[in-house]
Amino acid sequence: MDTESNITPFFSGEWEDRSWQLKAAGRQKQYAAYLKRANKNAVLKKLPDLHNEAFSKVDCLHCAACCKNYSPRFKTPDIKRISKHLKIKEGVFIETYLQLDNEGDYVVKKSPCPFLENDNRCSIYDVRPSDCHRFPYTDEDVLLNRPRITLKNASFCPAVFYVMERLLALK
């Protein structure tokens, strides 16, 4: 069983060393089994502390894998808010930046996200989509209720990996 001392080295700032991703890939079945049988109420009580712990160790600006490889859903309120911020019509925003995916959701046309700057900062951070604001869902019930998303996120997001490793260690 892992202890925090076995987890911490993955978050020492050595972002070029992606060994944690290999470990996450090897742990997918364990994560899936844990998510399936977890005491949801007990886990939900632990998530805020684990979320804060993860983000005391993980700096998103050194990673930005989410923005480089995936798209959030842009819901109608997001489109309205961002269009207003950019001072363009909603239709122009959609035509310029978005496309419908196979689930009928608006997503960015290409990766990386067009709002990701060279320093991994978001040019629309204050008005970003709600999916971006909530990501990586490590402090909410999405972690448990949507295991497929959690497993995918653990494969590329060091914060999700960290939380899953801590949950396994605490069981």
Residue 3 reports pLDDT greater than 50? no
> Based on the domain organization, do 120 and 156 belong to the same domain?
no
- pLDDT at residue 102, rounded to an integer: 94
- Smallest CA-to-CA distance from 169 within 14, 54, 22 is with 54
Domain count, the chain: 2
> Based on the domain organization, do 97 and 128 belong to the same domain?
yes
Q: What is the pLDDT of residues 9-67, one digit of tens each?
A: 445 454 456 789 999 999 999 999 999 999 999 999 999 999 999 999 999 999 999 99
- pLDDT at residue 18, rounded to an integer: 75
- Smallest CA-to-CA distance from 124 within 60, 76, 67, 65 is with 67
Contacts with 157 (C-beta within 8 Å, 6 or more apart), sequence order: 63, 65, 66, 135, 136
Q: Compute the radius of gyration of the chain from its Cα atoms.
A: 17
> Based on the domain organization, do 112 and 62 belong to the same domain?
no
pTM higher than the cut 0.75: yes
Domain that holds residue 166: 4-66+137-170
> Based on the domain organization, do 113 and 146 belong to the same domain?
no
What is the residue-averaged pLDDT of the chain?
A: 91
> Based on the domain organization, do 12 and 54 belong to the same domain?
yes
